[in-house]
Amino acid sequence: MSGDALDAVFAALSDPTRRRLVSRLVREGPHTATDLSRDLPMTRQAVVHHLQALGDAGLVDAHRDGREVRYRATPEPLADAVAWMLDTGVRWDERLQRLRTQVEARPRPPR
């Protein structure tokens, strides 16, 4: 996944409304924007914008059905974001481990 795509995923998830939308779509399956906006303190248009941000990140897709548009969670891109974090975490652990080894290999200071 390109850096830009990773940008979009992290940016999309940095907003609590958007995380909530993803959670709900994951738990309950597809919904329309109008439906999703019913229990959120904002207009349908605001929700649509959030869904578009999620769509740009590949976390959601839209499917037209008659006059309705159903949004569905597509959480695959989460895997790339998790991979970046785990990789970073692992490198950090390795570095800690190296430091620990150096400390242990150092001769005791005279006392």
| Paired strand residues for 70 | 32, 63
- Shortest Å distance, C-beta 94 to a copy of itself: 9
Complete DSSP assignment for 68-104: EEEEEE--TTHHHHHHHHHHHHHHHHHHHHHHHHHHH
| Paired strand residues for 65 | 68
Residue 15 as a binder of a copy of itself (CB under 8 A): the answer is yes
Structure tokens at 110: 């005279």
- Cα–Cα distance for residue pair 65/96, rounded to 1 Å: 53
Please choose which of a copy of itself, DNA, none residue 60 contacts, taking the beta carbon within 5 to 8 angstroms, the exact cut-off set by kind. none
- Shortest Å distance, C-beta 35 to a copy of itself: 18
Is the Cβ of residue 26 or residue 62 nearer to a copy of itself in the bound state?
26
Name the phi and psi angles at 42, rounded to 5. Answer: -160, 170
| Binding-residue pattern over the window 65 to 94 for a copy of itself, x denoting contact by CB under 8 A | --------x-x--xx-xx-xxx-xx-xx--
- Shortest Å distance, C-beta 78 to a copy of itself: 5
Residue 63 as a binder of a copy of itself (CB under 8 A): the answer is no
